[in-house]
Structure 1
Amino acid sequence: MYHPYFRGKQFELITIREMAALLAEKNFVPVIEPVRESLGSLKKTLDAVSEAGGSAIVIVNPYHGDHQENGSSITGLLQEDFGDDESISAGILLRNGMTVEEVMACYQQHVDHSPVLIHAGFTEPKALSVELADSMSNLTNIFVEDHAKLLYRKHFDRSNRILVRDGFKRQRNADYVEMEEFSDLNVTYTELGMAGFGDFLMVGDAYTEGGGPAYAVAIHLTFIDPEKDDVMYIYHFVSDTKDTPTDPAGKFGQALAKLIAKLDSGTSHILETKAIQEFRALHEKGHFPGLGYVKKLSMKHHIETLADYLG
């Protein structure tokens, strides 16, 4: 049903591990694009997903990060450590410039790992659908919406189809408005003929290797508004200090104070998740855990919110 798309950085993988039980319980299937050369943390994460009784899709030909030129070590990991594990699927990323022949060669190489096709810029859907005709009914196709419009998706309408939308409009932290719409796919995906939906959480599809010093600190939190047809929105709680790269702890304190004030107003629609309880505890202690940890809490809150909404 829900397919959160993660790039395999440290805190993304930790998020999946810590949420493995809930992901499994709700049949949420994370898509992981490994971007770090070392695969130890990825293996640990997949072990946690498998032990919890969940499923995951691992992209074997990443577009970003250290495996951009050669994903053979990811393939090796799947074959050696998860060869008999039906819960771990091979994801094949279909980008601009790939030929049908290249897609099919990768598909055949990973046929023992229930390959899932992730459409993100590929330009020959009709020809590919002809090649896959015999296996279409057993195939899952994931479409990144910005790259795969309605006509494109129609070529794969006999398959299990998932639509992924980037609801996070990334900009400089200092420039975020307090609140904006994130996505309505949680409500509309079946109307669009999809079996499920996904997003890039509050990280977004745009990939960066690591930010510079934060002139402003922002906490991004999603919520579902029952008064607006259950559309998902996102708050951006931004620090008041925005003109210096120093004192991230102080800026986090400012952003967190705004978050707590909104929660305590009783009008926020923010679900009181375990992640929110942890934000409250950080506020009470006056503790700054680091920006990566803050992003992890926001991602966990997002997953908990959708888990609650989808029952």
Structure 2
Amino acid sequence: MYHPYFRGKQFELITIREMAALLAEKNFVPVIEPVRESLGGLKKTLNSVCAAGGRAIVIVNPYHGDHQQDGASITNLLQEGFIGSDNLAAGILLRSDMTVEEVTVCYDHHADHHPVLVHAGFTAPKWLAAELEDSMASLTNVFVEDRAKLLYRKHFDQSTRVLVRDGFKRQRNADYLPMEEFSDLHVTYGELGMAGFGDFLIVGDVYSEGGGPAYAVAIHLTFIDPEKDDVMYVYHFVSTTKDTPTDPAGKFAQALAKLIAKLDSGTSHLLETEAIKEFRDLHTKGHFPGLGYVKKLSMKHHIETLADYLS
């Protein structure tokens, strides 16, 4: 079903932990690409997923972050901390610099953890499909849509296939339009021959370490519009002040005021999720919890919105 793709930064991992029960209940399977050298937060998160009876896919050869050169410590974590667990799958990220032989070696090395192939730029699908022909019926393939087109995906049509689309058009906070289309994949994935779908939530596939001062603060919230064939859209509530790197709390208050006004208009189509209740509470208290926390609430709202739609 739904496969949200997370890069394993602090607030992404906290989101998964806090949503573990709902993810498990709805059979949603997060894909986690660890990007931090310390794996303590990841281990805590995977324990939460397993305790809730959920499932997750953990990328063992990340393309981004601190494990880019060597993912051995991630493999060790799975093999030592989660041996015999059917809840966790080893995700093998297939990029343009990998050979068929490297993929199959990695696949065999992680055979104890139900390996899943995550296609994101690999260039030899025909030969890989031939190599894995005997395993294809039991294999799950996850395709990042803009790097694994239709013809590419056809080579794996005897497997369980999941399509991940980046619906979030990342740009400077000051430049966002008030609203834009996010995706229709939650409606159309079956028509595309897929068993499931995914996205990069309200973060997008563009990886950055974050950092610099925020000249504008934006709150990104998704909604499904029943009047437009259940297409998902995203609101960008952007602070009025956009020309100074100071006062993030004041800018958050401006963006939050726009969000509350839209909610109270009765025309927003925003689901009154637990995350929305927390935004309302922050507005009432006049409290700024930090930008990472705000991103976490937006991710939780996105998951809650899809859980409601797919229930």
Normalised TM-score (structure 1): 1.00
Indicate yes or no: 2:117 matched with 1:117.
Answer: yes
- Residue type at the aligned position of 1:8: G
- Residue type at the aligned position of 1:110: H
> Equivalents in 2 of 1:106, 1:151: separation in Å?
25
> Equivalents in 1 of 2:87, 2:101: separation in Å?
27
Query: How far is the alpha carbon of 1:14 from its aligned partner?
Result: 0.1
- In structure 2, the partner of 1:235 is 235
- Residue type at the aligned position of 2:244: T
- In structure 2, the partner of 1:10 is 10
Which 4+ residue blocks in structure 1 deviate beyond 4 angstroms? Answer: none
- In structure 1, the partner of 2:296 is 296
> Equivalents in 2 of 1:166, 1:303: separation in Å?
15
Query: How far is the alpha carbon of 1:241 from its aligned partner?
Result: 0.1
What do you get for the CA RMSD once the two structures are aligned? 0.3
Structure 1 alignment gaps of length 5 or more: none
Query: How far is the alpha carbon of 1:60 from its aligned partner?
Result: 0.2
The 5 Å alignment of 1:246-257 reads 246-257=246-257
Please give the per-residue CA displacement for 1:117-164, whole angstroms capped at 9, x wherever unaligned.
000000000000000000000000000001001000000000000000
What is the DSSP-based 3-state SS (H/G/I as helix, E as strand, rest coil) of the residue aligned with 2:13? helix
Query: How far is the alpha carbon of 1:48 from its aligned partner?
Result: 0.1
- In structure 2, the partner of 1:221 is 221
> Equivalents in 1 of 2:29, 2:223: separation in Å?
21
- In structure 1, the partner of 2:37 is 37
Indicate yes or no: 2:198 matched with 1:198.
Answer: yes
- Residue type at the aligned position of 2:272: E
- In structure 1, the partner of 2:24 is 24
> Equivalents in 1 of 2:84, 2:155: separation in Å?
31
> Equivalents in 1 of 2:152, 2:57: separation in Å?
22
- Residue type at the aligned position of 1:45: T
Query: How far is the alpha carbon of 1:211 from its aligned partner?
Result: 2.8
Please give the per-residue CA displacement for 1:206-256, whole angstroms capped at 9, x wherever unaligned.
000113000000000000000000000000000000000000000000000
Please give the per-residue CA displacement for 1:55-81, whole angstroms capped at 9, x wherever unaligned.
000000000000000000000000000
> Equivalents in 2 of 1:252, 1:6: separation in Å?
24
The alignment of Structure 1 onto Structure 2 pairs a total of residues equal to 311
- In structure 2, the partner of 1:82 is 82
> Equivalents in 2 of 1:34, 1:23: separation in Å?
19
Indicate yes or no: 2:277 matched with 1:277.
Answer: yes
- In structure 2, the partner of 1:156 is 156
Normalised TM-score (structure 2): 1.00
What is the DSSP-based 3-state SS (H/G/I as helix, E as strand, rest coil) of the residue aligned with 1:118? strand
Structure 2 alignment gaps of length 5 or more: none
- In structure 1, the partner of 2:57 is 57
Query: How far is the alpha carbon of 1:97 from its aligned partner?
Result: 1.4
Please give the per-residue CA displacement for 1:241-288, whole angstroms capped at 9, x wherever unaligned.
000000000000000000000000000000000000000000000000
- In structure 1, the partner of 2:165 is 165
> Equivalents in 2 of 1:83, 1:2: separation in Å?
25
- Residue type at the aligned position of 2:72: S
Identity of aligned residues (%): 82
